Amino acid sequence: MYRETQILNSNTIAPTTARDLAMDEAGAGLVINVGPQHPATHGVLHLVITLEGETIKKIEPHLGYIHRSIEKMCESLSYRQFIYVTSRMDYLSAHINNHGCVLCVEKGLQLEIPPRAQVIRVLMDELTRIASHELWWGAMAMDLGAFTPFFYAFRERETINDIMEETCGTRLTMNYMVPGGVMYDIHPNFQRRVKDFIQLFNSKIDEYDDLVTGNIIFQNRTKGIGVLSREDAISFGCTGPVGRASGVACDIRKLYPYEVYDKVNFDEIIETAGDSYARYLVRIKELRQSVRIIEQLIDNIPEGDFQAKTKAVLKLPKGEFYSRVETARGELGVYIVSEGGTTPYRIKFRSPGFSNLSALDHMSRGCKIGDLMAIMGTLDLVIPDIDR
């Protein structure tokens, strides 16, 4: 900037401006860094963006700032222990990560889960999904300049955290799932508090719609921004709300139902526009579906055990096991290769954020730098989930 001003003042024809110099260095454009510490990346993600004017030409994500090599750690942890490390991957749907892991271990052990535990698990999953989408909604609106929604979202999310704290003992990394069921029975207050919350929350979603969904400024900033076609979504392996906003039916709860998802009524939300607004709509509508699932189950928790009888030391038979669950961000795959011992030989987490991020470059090209906030916001990236 300073250099350009100088040149103007000297009233001569500048051989090169600062911008031209920068473009030469990069080959074809101005290169700027967003992150690793940046309020809009919501975590330590580093994007190297090549711009031409205001238009994004290329985005190169640099990962690994929070890489802990969870897969390597899991190789030396027992089948009971490794589940709790996964709470630290996608910490917003910690419960669902745990769910994926216990499903995989149970598949290996061929364990039957008591019906009570199944229903409790699904209830917890859906509460987690609501909490996760709430945080996303608040943070995304804040990225786009609306500060109030953040407080609205956290007000309701707090209630879920309180419910979780009462039953699981913790608010964020619940660690409530164990192979065979859940760790403790639900708190006596659980059903009443969830019902209170659901009743309150139904009216709150309408409020969210009034506040943000119908807002013309918000719509202008998201409609037609960051379009991802159906073919590309499949090719990039985008799942969850990102995939469904592009018209891909990828809800694991519908395609490969686990626990009691095949016994409850809910709709798979699919939009076809593939832009940021469609991704926003999918998540907002999913909130209502989660509420629907909870409403059906909360009064019908079967009596009985909350945990199946298991051995103290678990040993999976030799072989390979794969389980898939639908987290708030998409499809989480847990792939365990067992050699018959007490620890996994190799474990791989196919995290939804990793694949969703890989589409960022493709969908941002040609957009303005200001649109990046809308695209990043609706991708709903959780960085520890990507780096693992």
Partner 1 sequence: MTKDELKEHITQFQPKAVFEETGEWLNVQVETGDWKPVAHWLRNGVLQMDYLFCLTCIHWPTAGKTPAAGNTADEGSGGIFMMVYHFTSTVFRHVLVVKVKLTSDHPEIETVSDIWRTAEFHEREVFDLFGVRFLHHPDLRRLVLTDDFEGHPLRKDFEDPVNMIKL
Minimum CB–partner distance for residue 58 and partner 1 (Å): 11
Strand partners, 178: 181
Residue 32 parent element (H or E): strand 30-34
Minimum CB–partner distance for residue 14 and partner 1 (Å): 35
Please calculate the CA angle 225-230-232 and round it to the nearest 5 degrees: 80
Q: Using N-to-C axis directions, what is the helix angle for 190-208 and 276-298, rounded to 10°?
A: 150
* Extended strands (E) in 167-287: 177-178, 181-182
Minimum CB–partner distance for residue 365 and partner 1 (Å): 13
Minimum CB–partner distance for residue 339 and partner 1 (Å): 7
The answer to whether 133 touches 286, Cβ cutoff 8 Å, is yes
Minimum CB–partner distance for residue 71 and partner 1 (Å): 6
Compute the distance between CA of residue 161 and CA of residue 323 in angstroms, rounded to an integer: 27
Cβ neighbours of 92 (radius 10 Å)? 23
Minimum CB–partner distance for residue 344 and partner 1 (Å): 11
Closer residue to partner 1 (CB): 3 or 67: 67
Distances in Å between the Cα of 285 and the Cα atoms of 155, 289, 388 are: 19, 7, 29
Distances in Å between the Cα of 131 and the Cα atoms of 40, 86, 136, 201, 375 are: 20, 18, 9, 11, 21
SS3 content of the chain, % helix, strand, coil (to 5): 50, 10, 40
Tell me how far the alpha carbon of residue 144 is from its chain's centroid.
19
Minimum CB–partner distance for residue 355 and partner 1 (Å): 5
Minimum CB–partner distance for residue 62 and partner 1 (Å): 9
Closer residue to partner 1 (CB): 164 or 227: 227
Task: Using alpha carbons, select from 24, 29, 25 the residue that is nearest to residue 51.
Answer: 29
Closer residue to partner 1 (CB): 37 or 199: 37
For 127-159, letters b (16+ CB in 10 Å) and e give bbbbbbbbbbbbbbbbbbebeebbebbeebbeb
Compute the distance between CA of residue 46 and CA of residue 48 in angstroms, rounded to an integer: 7
Question: In one letter, which amino acid is 375?
Answer: I
Closer residue to partner 1 (CB): 218 or 321: 321
Closer residue to partner 1 (CB): 307 or 342: 342
Minimum CB–partner distance for residue 347 and partner 1 (Å): 10
Residues that bind partner 1 (CB under 8 A): 63-64, 67, 69, 71-72, 76-77, 107, 232, 234-237, 239, 248-250, 255, 318-322, 331, 333, 335, 337, 339, 345-346, 348, 350, 354-355, 357-359, 362, 387
Closer residue to partner 1 (CB): 145 or 319: 319
Closer residue to partner 1 (CB): 97 or 239: 239
Compute the distance between CA of residue 385 and CA of residue 66 in angstroms, rounded to an integer: 9
Compute the distance between CA of residue 281 and CA of residue 269 in angstroms, rounded to an integer: 9
Minimum CB–partner distance for residue 303 and partner 1 (Å): 32
Closer residue to partner 1 (CB): 75 or 185: 75
Closer residue to partner 1 (CB): 236 or 306: 236
Closer residue to partner 1 (CB): 331 or 380: 331
